[in-house]
Amino acid sequence: MRCPACTSTRLTSIQIRLAPDEDHTFASCQACEWKGWFKEGSDVPLGKVLSLASERRF
């Protein structure tokens, strides 16, 4: 994974399952403090993540 803001590869990441079959990675950049979401190696817009999270059912 590569930071979309500064292209650094120094990302700290954790895996979070937002919904069944929706495994996302939350990443933060050590170089520029960018934070964001990835799925399958591509960055995901925050609005998409929030809509998945709001659909979450327990």
Q: Which residues contribute to the site for Zn ion (CB under 5 A)? A: 3, 5-6, 8, 29, 31-32, 34
* Alpha-carbon dihedral angle through residues 28, 42, 19, 21, given to the nearest 10 degrees: -130
Question: Which string of DSSP letters, residue by residue, matches 25-48?
Answer: EEEEETTT--EEEEETTEEE-HHH
Fill in the DSSP letter of residue 16. Answer: E
Nearer to Zn ion, 34 or 39 (CB): 34
Least distance to Zn ion from the beta carbon of 32, Å? 3
Shortest distance, CB of residue 8 to Zn ion, whole angstroms?
5
Q: How far is the CB of 43 from Zn ion (least distance, A)?
A: 11
